[in-house]
Structure 1
C-alpha cells in the first residue's frame, strides 16, 4: 500500500504541475478527488503496516496532501471556486 500511495502521489504531483498552466486549471477539479483517493490509500497503508515499514505511505500521504492544498489554492486564486 505504501508504494501504491507513493506512486499515486507522484502522478498527482505531475498532474498538479500541468494544472498550474493557464487555461488548464480545470484539471484541478479532477485532481482533488484523485489525490484524496491517494491519501486514503496512504492512510490505509499507514494503518496496516509495521512501524518500520511506514515511510513510503507517509511520503505518499504528504505528497497527496500537498497536491490537495495547492489545487484548492489554485482554484481559489483562478476563480474556479465561486
Structure 2
C-alpha cells in the first residue's frame, strides 16, 4: 500500500504542477479528489503495515496532503471556491 500511495502522490503532484499554469486551474477540481483517494490509501497502508515499514506510506500521505492543500489554496485564490 505504501508504494501505491507514493506513486499516486507523484502523479497527483505532477497534475498539481500542471494545474498551476494559468488557465489550467480547473485541473485542481480533479487533482484534489485524486489526492484524497491517495491519502486514504496511504492511511490504510499506515494502519496495516508494521511500524518499521511505514516510511513509504507516510511519504505518500505527505505528498497527497501537499497536493490537497495547494489545490485548495489555488482554487481559493482564483475564485474557484464559492
Q: TM-score band (shorter)?
A: over 0.9
Structure 2 alignment gaps of length 5 or more: none
Q: In structure 2, what is the Cα distance between the partners aligned to 1:28 and 1:70?
A: 9
Counterpart of 1:36 in structure 2 is 36
In structure 2, the residue matched to 1:23 is 23
In structure 2, the partner of 1:10 is 10
Structure 1 residues without counterparts, runs of 5 or longer: none
Tell me the residue number matched to 1:55: 55
The CA deviation at 1:53 is: 0.3
Question: RMSD between aligned alpha carbons?
Answer: 0.4
Using structure 1 for the length normalisation, give the TM-score: 0.99
Separation (CA, whole Å) in 1 of partners of 2:56 and 2:25: 29
The DSSP-based 3-state class of the residue aligned with 1:72 is: helix
